[in-house]
Amino acid sequence: MQHVLVTGGAGYIGSHACKALAQAGYVPVTFDNLVTGWQDAVKFGPFEKGDLLDRARLDAVFARYQPVAVMHFAALSQVGESMAEPGRYWRNNVTGSLNLIEAAVAAGCEQFVFSSTCATYGDQDNVVLDETSEQHPINAYGASKRAIEDILRDFEAAHGLRHVIFRYFNVAGADPDGEVGEFHQPETHLVPLMLDAIEGKRDALTIHGTDYDTPDGTCIRDYVHVCDLVDAHVLGLKWLEGGKGSRVFNLGTGSGFSVREVLDHSREVTNKSVPCVDGPRRPGDCTKLVSGSQRAEDDLGWRPQRSNLRQMITDAWRWHQNGHYDR
């Protein structure tokens, strides 16, 4: 069976990708330093502990498994933190990714699927972003991801490294079977924070910014179910295996929900109110990010099955009540 190296495979999205790859007939090899990931989430293939900044470790893993492709999720991803500590984001995300890309080329692995972000587009209100939209990131997280996209293009020109880039924003939900789910320490994502507040695991949810130029004053995001998202990544791998060229795809529903709308849907799912307080805006947050996915539908045949807000919260709530990881 063919091996696929999955960086960040012990994290939220990466662990779901490993399950999707295993179901598609691949052997996912998780490469993770466990700073934000969980070894308990590695259930679908071998685990190799390592850091992307350690080139020798990467070379050893490539030599051992000879993967046919890389699926790259590992990254620091907190917008506010990236504003306060840009050097950490450039070093970890960009230098680490450069090490990975160079190691892949050296090992003759010429298929690369990259988890990018709609944060590369910056703050572009009242438009549905597509792959031709200009990229003007307003924080170090988005800027670091855009830089990696540029590196991939340069390595294709120089070394023939074909790649698929996926840009998406808010990912939610969990594996319907309950094998893996979303669990961060510290937690920063809206849906699990909201569910924590409902269960009394935190005093209240803080709404960061209530004066945005939106109908209810809270920022708007496009939400994609994690299972739909990783299905697209497997389709991206199939695209490369079919001999097709490098391509960028947005992944989204084309419609967004405000923070308050997410809270309203959670009440419908859980039958419980969300204790919340209003707080100031976070540095680097955009007003509205909505991402269309017509190209992914047309070229990859991607049809999201679970990316409605009620389903995402339902799956997340099920995991939240029953799932956890231990160090």
DSSP tag of 32: E
**Backbone φ, ψ for residue 113 (5° rounding):** -110, 120
Please report, as a single letter, which amino acid is at residue 194. Answer: M
CB 265 within 8 A of CB 198: no
325 is catalytic: no
Comparing C-alpha atoms, which of 146, 176, 120 is closest to residue 314? Answer: 176
Cis before 67 (ω within 30): no
Q: Which residues pair with 115 in a beta bridge?
A: 166
* HSE-CB of 59 using CA atoms within 13 angstroms: 6
Give every CB contact of residue 162 below 8 A, 6+ residues apart in sequence. Answer: 110, 111, 112, 156, 240, 245, 246
CA–CA distance, 142 with 245 (Å, rounded to integer): 24
Compute the distance between CA of residue 297 and CA of residue 250 in angstroms, rounded to an integer: 10
Catalytic residue (choose from 141, 168, 212, 223): 141
Cβ pair 289, 221 in contact under 8 A:
yes
What is the radius of gyration, based on Cα positions, of the chain? 19
The catalytic residues are 141
